[in-house]
Amino acid sequence: MDVYEVGGAVRDWLLGQPVKDRDWVVVGATPEQMLAAGYKQVGADFPVFLHPETREEYALARTERKSGHGYHGFEVHSAPDVTLEEDLKRRDLTVNAMARDAEGHLVDPFGGEQDLADRVLRHVSPAFAEDPLRILRTARFAARLAPMGFEVAEETMTLMRSMVVEGEVDHLVPERVWQETRRALHEARPRVFFEVLEACGALAVVMPEIASPLEVREGGLSALARAVAISDATEVRFGALSSKLEADTADAFSERLRVPNSCRDIAVSSAALPRWPRPLSADWVEKLIEKADAWRRPERFEQLLMVMEACGLDAQAAARVREARSRAAGVEPRALMKEGYQGKALGEAIAARRRQAIEQVVEGEADDA
């Protein structure tokens, strides 16, 4: 059997980028031979094995044949006579269809190295059109590699547009759309993911809520671009993306994509928050703290505030809001009880002292102690 390192690890090696995950293809082997060598089979749809020591994935070389709609509509063939080139040909982009042998020699039958040099994301073959998930993957790679100048090849963009027109994208299920979107939110330039989807027409199919009108899409993408510099939390980035939607639309968008509850909560709550005044007012800060449930859920409050920063709340104002919450949270019920407050009067005293702390900070009257 022959073993080759394939895919993203080879691409990143050629780009001089850190290699995080390594994948391997085994040519000329059977499942029985892999098991006899100590590998553990984990693939249900096709033979994938874990190395007994490194736990890295080793897949037997395979081909795929279209048998239905969507990304599940494939028949997989794996056998010892499947060649490395046949295995690489089923991959999405030329930059992901390269391999290295045991001596470190590059195997590049589809021009991936040249496309890396030209900063182009190009499909390997017309079979790209058989799997609509490849549109999302291409958009995500564009978001990852955009800082290095990569763009989607025009012929690939044309092919993706035809896939949208022919209805292939309609067969993508929400879970896979969210999976790729979540990963895209953590790429170097997440907004490029959505821009590529918009350019090929897929955004209106998979995420119509943010596709139009223009001010919703551009406003959300601008907020997302700012959120990247503020937080790496998925909740904050998704909240920024959804920030120009009405609360009920943000809720429907989150439900349809089946996003985690934490992301849905931040997206809907951000959309429902009142626009901040200029200058800040104690009334607004107090209302924000209450709506954000900041006393019980300070982390949620912080995420909402970061979404607001991504939407244009300046850093100085955000710092003042944080300080106001911190000062107000320092009001000690026990100290008030020692002063004789109890029952309803205690609750009123806590609210009054918190309000006083908020006013002092917002109006710039708090001391530095």
Nearby residues of 83 by Cβ (< 8 Å), 6 or more positions away: 27, 61
Asked if pLDDT for residue 269 goes beyond 70, the answer is yes
> Radius of gyration of the chain from Cα atoms?
26
Known binding-site residue numbers for ATP: 8, 11, 91, 137, 140
Nearby residues of 147 by Cβ (< 8 Å), 6 or more positions away: 188, 189
CA pair distance 80, 301, nearest whole angstrom: 57
**In terms of Cα–Cα distance, which of 280, 366, 277, 285 is closest to 327?**
366
Q: What angle do CA 270, 224, 120 make, to 5 degrees?
A: 155
- Give residue-wise pLDDT tens across range 208-267: 999 999 999 999 999 999 999 999 999 999 999 999 999 999 999 999 999 999 999 999
Phi, psi of 330 (to 5 degrees): -80, -5
- Give residue-wise pLDDT tens across range 144-175: 999 999 999 999 999 999 999 999 999 999 99
Class of domain 1-110: alpha beta
**In terms of Cα–Cα distance, which of 2, 151, 185 is closest to 85?**
2
Q: In the chain, where are the structural domains located?
A: 1-110, 273-369
- Give residue-wise pLDDT tens across range 181-191: 999 999 999 99
**What letter represents residue 39's amino acid?**
Y
Known binding-site residue numbers: 8, 11, 21, 23, 91, 137, 140
Asked if pLDDT for residue 67 goes beyond 80, the answer is no
Known binding-site residue numbers for Mg(2+): 21, 23
Q: Binning pLDDT at 50, 70 and 90, where does residue 73 land?
A: low
Known binding-site residue numbers for CTP: 8, 11, 91, 137, 140
* DSSP per-residue string spanning 220-276: HHHHHHHHHHH---HHHHHHHHTTTS-HHHHHHHHHHHT--HHHHHHHHHHHHSPPP
Asked if pLDDT for residue 366 goes beyond 60, the answer is no
Would you mind telling me the total number of residues written for the chain in this entry? 369
Helices (H), 93-207: 112-118, 133-145, 154-165, 174-184, 190-200, 203-206
- Give residue-wise pLDDT tens across range 275-296: 899 889 999 999 999 989 999 9
Q: Are 305 and 324 in contact (CB under 8 A)?
A: no
Q: Binning pLDDT at 50, 70 and 90, where does residue 74 land?
A: low
Hey, which of 18-22, 38-42, 45-49, 97-101 has the most confident mean pLDDT? 97-101
CA pair distance 347, 353, nearest whole angstrom: 10
CA pair distance 346, 365, nearest whole angstrom: 25
- Give residue-wise pLDDT tens across range 299-320: 999 999 999 999 999 999 999 9
User: Residue 106: beta bridge partners?
Assistant: 100
Average pLDDT for the chain: 93
Asked if pLDDT for residue 70 goes beyond 60, the answer is no
DSSP 24: E
